[in-house]
Each structure stands twice: as C-alpha cells, then as structure tokens.
Homo-oligomer: A and B are copies of this chain.
Amino acid sequence: MAQQERARRTRLAILEAAGTVFDECGYEAATISQILALADVTRGALYFHFSSKEDLARGVLDLAVTTEGVVPQQFKLQELADASLLLADRLPKEPMLRAALRLSVDQRARALFGTRWPDWIGVAEGLLAEAKERGEVLAHVDPHETARLLVASWTGVQLMAEAVPQREDLVHEISLLYQLLLPNIAVPAVLARLDMAPDRPDRLRQQSARS
C-alpha cells in the first residue's frame, strides 16, 4: 500500500472515530482522548492530520455533503428524491453523518464552524434549477426558496424521528415528506413517474450492483 493511500485511510479512520464520539457525546463533551482510543491511532498520527477538535469537526462536516449512490435519471426531480432518500437510508447506519447533523443543530458547535446546510441547499437548488429548465417543475417554483424549504424539512423530519420515534424508520418518513411536498413542485406528468417509495434506496443499490 502506497504511503499516500495509508495516510488517506488513517485520516478516514480518525474522522470516523470523531464522528462516532461527536454523535454519542456531542461536540462539547467529546475529547481527543476518546477519539484516539476509538480510532486506535497515536496522538502524533492524529495531530499530523488534524490540528484540533475544531479541525476534526470541520473534517466530519466536509464528508457529510454527499450524493453518493445518486445516478443520472430521466428526471432531475428523481435525482433530488434519490439524494434525499439515500441520505435518510444511510444516516441511521453511519455515525459520521449523524454527527455532522448533530454539529449543525448544536448552537455552540455551529457558532464555531458553521454548518454544511448551505452546501446541501446548493445541491438541491442545482437539481431544481435543471429540473425547471427541462419543464419538470410547476411555474411558481423558485429553485432557491424551494431548496431551502426541502433541506429544512428534511432536517426537521430527521430530528423528530430521533426525538419522537415511530414504528417507521427515517427513510419511510422522508418518503412521506416527499409525497407531501412533490405534488406542489413537480408537473403532474412527471409526478406520476417519480419513485419516492421507502425501498427506493435498496432498488438503486441493486441496479448499480447489476450494472
């Protein structure tokens, strides 16, 4: 394994440990020692990659804006739904993503290094703007305004799912959110062809495994 690849893996292992500790304890209570113990690396290795706890938090936040698993679709609105559903499917399984959300929600942590919400709003806005150009969205839809509401609602639904658990999982609740929102975003002919079902992430993964 090349030295560069080893360094990359060490960096990721540290970030994953940081994500787990931030997710469990919150930013304030988290300590570098906990992160070191979990990542099983030396203090020297950690400080080679990250200068401080703040720097670790920034690293965790950077990895949280991801459209991994989203592949080109006939409709841009489908790609938007896919990005939202895939994130909802991954979040409960991935401490790093949960940590990023927790850091954004935490007022004190947020004051230190901001949030990645503007980036998420940017991703959604880009897809909505493209969808609009292609005639997929209703005339009244403003891509920036709608992107902001989508990211905000997604975040609220995640918080609620965590705080007031239901039988259903997060991807199920995000599916319901999209079923509520999309009829006032998509033109009917596109709406009828969108797949917003909770098992959409599973099917996307099966498709990509086959191709």
Contact = CB atoms under 8 A, between A and B. Distances in A.
Interface of A: 26, 28-29, 102, 104-108, 110, 115, 117-118, 121, 145-146, 148-149, 151-157, 159-164, 166, 173, 176-177, 180-181, 183-185
A121 B184 contact: no
A181 to B, nearest CB: 6
Contacts of A159: 105, 152, 155-156, 159
A192 to B, nearest CB: 14
Contacts of A104: 163
A35 B29 CA distance: 23
B146 A151 contact: no
A167 to B, nearest CB: 12
Contact of A26 (B108, B153, B157): B108
B160 A152 contact: yes
3 nearest CB pairs, A to B: A156-B156, A152-B160, A153-B153
Contact of A106 (B106, B115, B149, B185): B106
Contacts of A162: 107
A180 B137 CA distance: 13
Given A106-B106, A180-B184, A115 B164 contact: yes
29 contacts: A26-B108, A29-B108, A102-B107, A104-B163, A106-B106, A107-B162, A115-B163, A117-B163, A146-B180, A148-B160, A148-B166, A148-B173, A149-B157, A149-B173, A149-B180, A152-B153, A152-B156, A152-B173, A153-B153, A155-B156, A155-B160, A156-B157, A156-B159, A180-B181, A180-B184, A180-B185, A181-B181, A183-B183, A183-B184
Nearest to A153: B153
A177 B155 contact: no
Given A159-B156, A181-B180, A183-B183, A26 B107 contact: yes
